[in-house]
Amino acid sequence: MIQRIQTIYLLLTAGISGGLSFAFNLWKTVEDVLFFAKDELLFLGLFLASAGLALWSIFMFKNRKLQFVLGRLNIILNLILLGLFVYWSLNLSGETEVSEKGIGIILPVFSIVFLALANRAIKKDEDLVKSVDRLR
């Protein structure tokens, strides 16, 4: 059943990772040049992989266990992306390259929240199916 609440959460995750990563900058350099995820191939790949995993997970609605595992993998992917952002921002020295951080750095946090909500809804569906099977 594709019309479940986890589909909404997974679509929001795909929209955040796939769409908003192009709209919000990650940081601004001293020369007032905005740095987006599309400017660094690693960040772009991780954002698009997260969006792809979320979309793939939507269409795995018949296999809830695989859908749950894909959600967990996506959470791990977003944690890696968040860790790279933290490492990148802490590793740069002072005002040499980064003048101010952008809102794009916290996009993986929003993705993680929506993925956790989706996984909770998937788990609730799986528990419901198991309880119904027990009654037969």
Pairing of strands 98-101, 27-29: antiparallel
Give the pair of three-digit tokens for residue 61: 């609605």
Is residue 70 included in any domain, yes or no? yes
**pLDDT attached to residue 105:** 86
Q: Tens of pLDDT along the chain (136 residues)?
A: 577 899 999 999 999 999 888 888 887 777 777 878 888 899 999 999 999 999 999 998 889 899 999 999 999 999 999 999 888 877 765 555 556 777 888 899 999 999 999 999 999 988 888 888 776 6
Cβ atoms of 50 and 98 closer than 8 Å: no
Is residue 136 included in any domain, yes or no? no
Q: How many domains does the chain have?
A: 1
**pLDDT attached to residue 56:** 94
Cβ atoms of 55 and 82 closer than 8 Å: no
Is residue 135 included in any domain, yes or no? no
Match 């007032």 to its residue by tokens.
32
Is residue 18 included in any domain, yes or no? yes
Give the pair of three-digit tokens for residue 21: 């990563």
Is residue 89 included in any domain, yes or no? yes
b/e per residue 86-110 (b: at least 16 CB within 10 A): eebeeeeeeeeebeeebebbebbee
**pLDDT attached to residue 104:** 84
**pLDDT attached to residue 98:** 57
Query: What range defines the domain where residue 114 resides?
Result: 5-130
pTM for this predicted structure: 0.87
Q: If we measure between CA atoms, which residue out of 129, 109, 95 comes closest to residue 16?
A: 109
